[in-house]
Homo-oligomer: A and B are copies of this chain.
Amino acid sequence: MHTQAVSSRIMPLNTESLFAARMRNMRPSLVRELLKNAGGPGFISFAGGLPNPKFFPAEALIAATEAVLREDAANVLQYAVSEGYPPLREWIAARYKQRFGLDIPIEEILITSGSQQGLDLLGKVLLDPGDVVINERPGYQGAIHALSMYQPRFAGVTLGDAGLDVDELGRTLQTHSGRAKFVVITPNYQNPTGITYSDANRRAIADVIRRHNVLLVEDDPYSELGFAGETAPPVRAYLEDRGVLLGSFSKIVAPGMRLGWLVAPQEIMRRVVIAKQGADFHSNNFAQRVLHRYLISNPIAEHIARIRAGYASQARAMIAALERHLPPDIPFTRPQGGMFIWVTLPEAADSMAILKDAVAQKVSFLPGAPFFTDGDGRRYMRLSYSQADEATIEEGIARLARVVLQHLDAPAAEHAAAG
């Protein structure tokens, strides 16, 4: 870049040589890049896992902000304890008690900057390069990204309609004995598949975990979004000292507030708090105090019921549209909650090539590849129904199905060329 003569006293900078080894194979996340470039008038996105803004409680948050700043600005706006605002942690504990009868002391709850930060802190505290993380196959791409920074190897375990293959989980733990630090799962309305682990599967997973020197990390951001109401208890209910649980306010209040939480046994929590102090001292205190005031001043159960009903209706609309526009031999999941449907295309399909054409037709989704750590995923599509209304879902699926059918009709040679 510099055109002037370089003085002999100046050493040219070799920026590449300064990066840590962990950055070598890092690429910007496909999801993020898509969020940046796809859009504009008439564009229909089934790509991002974004909550529907019609459920954001703007007026109630204004009232909560006014109340906490008028009453206690000197503390609301000051530095605060790393663990998080104690009454907010008490609210979380009370909710676990109410929903599942679980007793979680607030000393085992840390407020995080979204549950994504919970994954990052666990990577920092638990992973040395070469350690093994056992994850779902397919699994949440945000967890794969956060944990990849700590250079683990991933070992995927097959995810079926009722949860994880527990025999395969046992064999995988055996294979990686001594290097496997934790198993990370999303038992409710999983991202990307939308499937939910049965209660029997949860108990069976707990049994397997107890037979190994390993932790279970249960990433549970969609927990409250069951269309029919409550889910089975978290696996943590059967594990105690080896269960870590991540939760989020992003899907029941608002993701822009970046608040979630991490539940961990005290010996692990002590280390996580040290990592939290290094990372950002504490989570946004202003947002914590506003959120807490909102939660205790409003009928949250009714608010959550409205979100559940809204997403249930949008999910029904997407299932109906997929049945109408796709041939019956293309299977897709029928979620009981959450935000996602997972479509399995024929073996030869290339969802990345389909995405490129779909974006040209003003509709998007996420291709399957980022959810696999072994290079697989080419034939899958993740569809999110959370953001669009029912009529838009019908129109978007009609568009998308036309693109899919064109690809499936094309000769095999063309698929090969697209790959």
Bound-state CA distance A23–B124 (Å) is: 9
- Measured CB to CB, the closest approach of chain B to A373, in angstroms, equals 15
- Measured CB to CB, the closest approach of chain B to A146, in angstroms, equals 4
Q: Main SS of the interface on chain A?
A: helix
Contacts of A116 in B (CB 8 A): 278-281
Interface residues in A185-209 by Cβ distance below 8 A to B read 207
Task: Select which of B1, B81, B150, B182 is within 8 A of A36 by beta carbon.
Answer: B81
Bound-state CA distance A197–B283 (Å) is: 32
B78-A26 in contact (CB<8A)? no
A10 close to B (CB within 8 Å): yes
Task: Select which of B21, B117, B207 is within 8 A of A279 by beta carbon.
Answer: B117
- Measured CB to CB, the closest approach of chain B to A62, in angstroms, equals 5
Bound-state CA distance A220–B22 (Å) is: 27
Contacts of A53 in B (CB 8 A): 73-75, 77-78
Bound-state CA distance A36–B82 (Å) is: 10
Interface residues in A266-310 by Cβ distance below 8 A to B read 267-268, 270-271, 273-275, 277-287, 289-290
Bound-state CA distance A361–B49 (Å) is: 55
B210-A256 in contact (CB<8A)? no
B19-A125 in contact (CB<8A)? yes
A69 close to B (CB within 8 Å): yes
Bound-state CA distance A61–B70 (Å) is: 10
B256-A285 in contact (CB<8A)? yes
A56-B77 in contact (CB<8A)? yes
- Measured CB to CB, the closest approach of chain B to A133, in angstroms, equals 12
Interface residues in A115-138 by Cβ distance below 8 A to B read 116-117, 120, 124-128, 131
A18-B79 in contact (CB<8A)? no
Contacts A/B (CB < 8 Å), 5 sampled: A10-B210, A13-B242, A14-B213, A61-B77, A77-B257
Besides A56-B77, A79-B256, A148-B278, 9 more A-B contacts (Cβ < 8 Å) are A18-B182, A32-B81, A58-B70, A65-B66, A77-B257, A255-B285, A256-B285, A258-B283, A284-B284
Q: Which residues of A contact B (CB under 8 A)?
A: 1, 9-11, 13-15, 17-23, 26-29, 32, 35-36, 48, 50-51, 53, 56, 58-59, 61-62, 65-66, 69-70, 73-82, 113-114, 116-117, 120, 124-128, 131, 142, 145-146, 148-150, 181-182, 207, 210-215, 241-242, 250, 254-258, 265, 267-268, 270-271, 273-275, 277-287, 289-290
